[in-house]
Amino acid sequence: MARKRVLVIEDDRSIREGLVDALAFHGYTALQAERGDIGLDKVLHGGCDLVILDLVLPGADGLAVLREVRRAHPTLPVIILTARGDEADRVRGLREGADDYVAKPFSIRELLARVEAVARRSPERPSDVQRLEIPGGVADLARCEVRFEDGERCDLSQREAELLRYLAANPGRIVSREELLSRVWGVSARSVETRTIDVHVARLREKLRDRALPPTLLVTVRGKGYRWDARGS
């Protein structure tokens, strides 16, 4: 089995090199970058399976890097590593799409445990979906728009595109609201009302012309969640 490639983006040399050594010792292929812009370039062009990302970085702020990573690789696992320990920063990092958050100071054992946990979950993260055929048109998720053969076009918000991408990458599987909040919003169900999911799904149905009763593309499974039905397309 190929070794997972973990990229550490951290400007503190001692922390960065300590993490690289520990990751290598535990069987990972460890990559490193001391600046945000350099780290982002390695993510976009070098390829990795997981990113450990500091928030305060020269070259590019960690949250800015995270946003760019999420645009290019919506399913790439990211763990935020930072000295910012207050709740507001943790929530902001998770809202931007981080999978986990570790505040400095930390133990190597704790961080490795979190890396292992996120790596185990990563197969659940769907492969990227860029384009979906729908009745009478196409949903172009890369461009965040829906186009129909009759010439109508409508824009998707970034969140709507991410939600549709996640559901469509799990065709036929019932996805709970809690899972969607965790995987698409990056927050727990305790932080955001699950009604948020329902509102976004309703907007997506309208934009996809999924107006049948009951809907045939974005199917509601009462008491369980939602399912993308590829047969409806």
Q: Does residue 114 sit in the same domain as residue 138?
A: no
User: Do 156 and 223 belong together in one domain?
Assistant: yes
H-assigned helices in the chain: 13-25, 36-45, 62-72, 87-95, 108-121, 158-168, 177-180, 195-208
The 10s digit of each residue's pLDDT in 49-72 is 899 999 989 999 999 999 888 877
Q: ∠ CA(109), CA(49), CA(227), 5° rounding?
A: 105
Range of the domain at 113: 5-124
Model pLDDT, residue 190: 60
What pLDDT score does 31 carry? 94
pTM of the model: 0.56
Give CA–CA dist 126/84, Å, rounded: 30
**Given 90, 124, 158, which residue is the final one in a domain?**
124
Residue range 188-203: mean pLDDT, rounded: 77
Regarding whether 139 and 109 lie in a shared domain, the answer is: no
Contacts of 38 (CB under 8 A, 6+ apart): 9, 59
Same domain, 153 and 82: no
* pLDDT at position 223: 87
58 & 106 share domain: yes
Q: Kindly state whether residues 93 and 51 are assigned to the same domain.
A: yes
- Domain match, 39 and 67 both: yes
Asked whether the bond before 214 is cis by omega within 30 degrees of 0, the reply is yes
Q: In terms of DSSP bridges, do strands 225-228 and 145-148 run parallel, antiparallel, or are they unpaired?
A: unpaired
How many structural domains does the chain have?
A: 2
Segment among 44-48, 116-120, 162-166, 182-186 with least mean pLDDT? 182-186
Higher pLDDT, 104 or 24: 24
Q: Which helix (H) or strand (E) holds 134?
A: strand 131-134
Is the pLDDT at 90 greater than 60? The verdict is yes
